[in-house]
Amino acid sequence: MENGSEEISPLGVALVGAGMVAKTHLAAILGAHRHVTLRGLYSRTSERVADLLKAVPADYSCQPRPYGSLEQCLMDDSVDAAIVVTPPNVREELIQPLAEAGKHILLEKPVARNLPEAEQVVCVCEQADVQLGIVFQHRFRAASQMAKRLVNQRNLGRLGAVEVSVPWWREQSYYDEPGRGTYERDGGGVLINQAIHTIDLFLSLTGPVESVQAMVSTSPLLKMEAENFVVAGLKFENGAVGSLTASTCSFPGASEVIVLHFVTASLRLERGVLSVSWRDGQTERHGEENTSGGGADPMAFTHAWHQAVLEDFAEAVGRGTRPTVTGHDALAAHWLIEAIERSGERGQVVQVTN
């Protein structure tokens, strides 16, 4: 990779993991061919790797390798970075050897199953001096970026109240897959697997939460180990108050919504659209309506946002800068989730570690 202001050469990447979201990442890699080159794929399930390789066009710039082991990936000098999309329970055995081999890492959310493991992942990459980017693709949607610009312009006045809702639905068949919705494999339920995207996005707009009081429950509507319904009251460090509701048992499912009430306007993010209602009666609308994998279909979203994340990460590695969402940035969502879980267990207000 070249550095500085000159054009940088494509980043050589390996795709590690071949589960549900791997096809989306593969489409993003192929779409970002000017920024990255797929050098190989690794999964403990070789059949899935073979299926993914079939989607690589015959005229692709190189022939990606099906690695028979992680060691083959580590020894491939053409690989600058690994895109890790495995379940969280196998991250520990992957992240450290990848980082120690000098491979930069783009990691599918969550960072890990729980806060201590997530902090360890960040620490390992910092000690190895490799970039760690996290796939929080909702930040790259046009409406989200417009909301961020408006907030940064500081003409909205003080933030007073926040309303966040993630009213999703998952069929029982979704949780019937071995390990899904368990603490051992996934680290939890709706908070760390579904709502974490919306949590990351609203925190990027509001700033940190100071304290929470929450109810965390596993409703009888779905058979699963971890939580599928959460309600939390939030107190932000800037003095604002808010509410968060997250569910995967809200049939038939609807889009997530973030509403931010400022002194001069209210911002509403929903289905890829930003609606701005100014106190003087003026209104604005930005973005194009689309879905995000909410509602009832976990794969109902475009790969374009993943491609934007990947291109941003490749640019950061090539120029020696920071990706938009670093591993440390992603810890904010983990800190809040951990506090919500503790509050639900104790039935009292809990301070958030920031």
| pLDDT tens digits, one per residue of 144-196 | 999 999 999 989 999 999 999 999 999 999 999 999 999 999 999 999 999 99
- What pLDDT is stored for residue 8 in this prediction? 86
Q: How confident is the model at residue 72 (pLDDT cuts 50, 70, 90)?
A: very high
Q: Which residues pair with 214 in a beta bridge?
A: 232
Cα distances (Å, whole numbers) of residue 113 to 40, 100, 117: 26, 21, 7
For the chain, where do the domains classified as CATH 3.40.50.720 start and end? 11-138+305-325
Q: How do 11-16 and 36-42 pair as beta strands?
A: parallel
Q: How confident is the model at residue 292 (pLDDT cuts 50, 70, 90)?
A: low
- Cis ω for the linkage preceding 208 (within 30 of 0): no
Q: What percent of the chain stands above pLDDT 90? A: 92
Domain with CATH 3.30.360.10 in the chain: 139-297+333-351
Phi–psi pair at 340, nearest 5 degrees: -60, -45
pLDDT of residue 289: 74
Per-residue model confidence as pLDDT tens digits over 186-226 = 999 999 999 999 999 999 999 999 999 999 999 999 999 99
pLDDT averaged over every residue in the chain: 95
The neighbour count for residue 76, using CB atoms within 10 Å, is 18
Architecture of domain 139-297+333-351: 2-Layer Sandwich (3.30)
Residue type at position 295: G
Tokens matching residue 296: 């009832």
Q: What is the pLDDT of residues 233-268, one digit of tens each?
A: 999 999 999 999 999 999 999 999 999 999 999 999
Average pLDDT over residues 68-79: 98
Positive/negative CA dihedral, 98, 102, 108, 114 = positive
Instruction: From 249, 105, 103, select the one nearest 174 (Cα to Cα).
Output: 249
List phi, psi (to 5°) of 232.
-140, 135
For 314-332, give one letter per residue: b (16+ CB within 10 A) or e: bebbbeeeebbbbbbbbbb
Q: If one looks up domain 11-138+305-325 in CATH, what number appears?
A: 3.40.50.720
pTM, entire model: 0.94
Predicted local distance difference test score (pLDDT) of residue 6: 67
Amino acid at position 17, single letter: G
143: tokens are 């409406």
User: Beta partners for 289?
Assistant: none
pLDDT for the residue 299: 52
> What is the structure's pLDDT at 2?
47
Q: pLDDT: is 294 or 8 the higher one? A: 8
